[in-house]
Amino acid sequence: MATIKATCPMCGDVDLTPRQVRVRVVEALEESHSRRTYAFGCPTCHEDVEKPADEEVVRLLVSAGVVVHRVPVPAEARERHDGGPLGYDDLLDLVLWLETHDAIVEDVAPARGR
């Protein structure tokens, strides 16, 4: 089993196993904007440590046996959107429209008796 060396801000260098390290990649629309971090619980002081990781660090950790947890981009972010951003007046118009349209209340209201 591979030994991974990491640095705890309190204790200095520590040795970890792949099971003690967590890698998380929060994907972005452009790969260069994805956020990558690795985290571990320090075996000496038991503090949780999280650090940024570039693509090379992620690649090295994966080659050592660390499992990567990927957080995908929501499908809505990939949809085409026309028009400008919603403003306060748009939100107020929606609220006023919802007050006069009871037909959808049954669809969006929480189910009773569950």
- Sequential DSSP letters for 76-88: HHHS---S----H
pLDDT tens string 42-98: 999 999 999 999 999 999 999 999 999 999 888 887 788 888 889 999 999 998 888
Least confident of 23-27, 32-36, 56-60, 102-106: 102-106
User: Average pLDDT for residues 8-20, to the nearest whole number?
Assistant: 96
In the chain, the percentage of residues whose pLDDT exceeds 90 is 60
pLDDT surpasses 80 at 3? yes
pLDDT surpasses 70 at 114? no
Complete DSSP assignment for 45-73: T--EEEEE--HHHHHHHHHTTPPEEEEPP
The residues spanned by each domain of the chain are: 4-75
Query: What confidence score (pLDDT) does residue 32 get?
Result: 74
What's the length of the chain?
Answer: 114
For residue 50, the one-letter residue type is: E
Task: Say how far apart CA 64 and CA 6 lie, in whole Å.
Answer: 13
Query: What confidence score (pLDDT) does residue 111 get?
Result: 61
Task: Say how far apart CA 32 and CA 55 lie, in whole Å.
Answer: 9
For residue 4, the one-letter residue type is: I
